[in-house]
Amino acid sequence: MDFETYFASELDSVREDGRYRVFTDIKRHRGKFPHATRFIGEETQAVTVWCSNDYLGMGQHPKVLEAMHSSLDECGAGAGGTRNISGTNHYHVELEAELADLHGKESALLFTSGYVSNWAGLGTLAAKIPGCVVFSDSLNHASMIEGIRHSRAPYKVWKHNDVEDLDRMLSEFGPEVPKLVAFESVYSMDGDIAPIAEILDVCEKHGAMSYIDEVHAVGLYGQHGGGIAEREGLMDRITVIEGTLGKAFGVMGGYIAASRNLVDFVRSFASGFIFSTALPPAVAAGAAASIRHLKNSDAERELQQERVKQVRRKLDMLGIPHLDNPSHIIPVMVGDAKKCKMISDWLMDNHGIYVQPINYPTVPVGTERLRLTPSPVHDDGDIDRLVNALSEIWSQCELARMSAAA
So which residues are the catalytic ones?
Answer: 247
* HSE, side-chain direction, 13 A CA sphere, residue 276: 16
Residues 136, 147: Cα–Cα separation, whole Å:
11
State in angstroms the smallest separation of the CB of 387 from ligand PLP.
Answer: 26
Closest CA to 208 of 159, 175, 163: 175
Residue, CB closest to ligand PLP: 114
Q: Is 257 in the site for ligand PLP (CB under 6 A)?
A: no
CB of 389 to ligand PLP, least distance (A): 27
Euclidean distance between CA atoms 216 and 185, whole angstroms: 8
Closest to 383 in 3D by CA, of 286, 315, 287: 315
- Could you tell me which of 222, 229, 230 has the C-alpha nearest to residue 194? 229
**Window 214-233: contact mask with ligand PLP (x via CB under 6 A):** -xx-----------------
Q: What is the C-alpha separation between 264 and 121, in angstroms, rounded?
A: 11
Window of 62-70, 107-115, 120-128, 310-318 that interacts with ligand PLP by CB under 6 A: 107-115
User: What is residue 231's three-state secondary structure?
Assistant: helix
Least separation in angstroms between CB 68 and ligand PLP: 17
- Only one of the segments 64-72, 113-121, 261-269, 395-403 lies at the binding site for ligand PLP (rule: CB under 6 A); that segment is 113-121
Nearest to 253 by CA among 365, 112, 357: 112
Q: Are 52 and 372 in contact (CB under 8 A)?
A: no
- Residue 246 near ligand PLP by CB under 6 A: yes
Of residues 246 and 321, the one with the C-beta less far from ligand PLP:
246
Residue from 89, 118, 185, 373 in contact with ligand PLP (CB under 6 A):
118
Residue with Cβ nearer ligand PLP (115 or 394): 115
Please work out the total of residues on this chain that contact ligand PLP, with binding judged by CB under 6 A: 14
Determine whether 173 is exposed, middle or buried from the number of CB atoms within 10 Å of its CB (0-12, 13-18, 19+): middle
- Restricted to residues 136-155, the positions that interact with ligand PLP (CB under 6 A) are 141, 143
HEC assignment per residue over 127-177? HHCCCCEEEEECCCCHHHHHHHHHHCCCEEEECCCCHHHHHHHHHCCCCCC
Of residues 272-311, those binding ligand PLP (CB under 6 A): none
371 binds ligand PLP per the rule CB under 6 A: no
Give the residue among 263, 252, 253, 251 at the shortest CA–CA distance from 111: 253
Q: Is 356 in the site for ligand PLP (CB under 6 A)?
A: no
For ligand PLP, which is the closer residue by CB, 45 or 277? 277
Instruction: Give 184 or 382: the residue with its C-beta nearer to ligand PLP.
Output: 184
Q: Are the beta carbons of 34 and 48 closer than 8 angstroms?
A: yes
Dist. CA 130–CA 265, nearest whole Å: 14
Return the range that interacts with ligand PLP (CB under 6 A); candidates 74-82, 109-117, 200-208, 377-385.
Answer: 109-117
Q: Does 328 bind ligand PLP (CB under 6 A)?
A: no
Considering only 27-35, 108-116, 268-276, 287-295, which stretch makes contact with ligand PLP by CB under 6 A?
Answer: 108-116
Residues 162-221 that bind ligand PLP (CB under 6 A): 184, 188, 213, 215-216
Residue ranges in contact with ligand PLP by CB under 6 A: 113-115, 118, 141, 143, 184, 188, 213, 215-216, 244, 246, 254
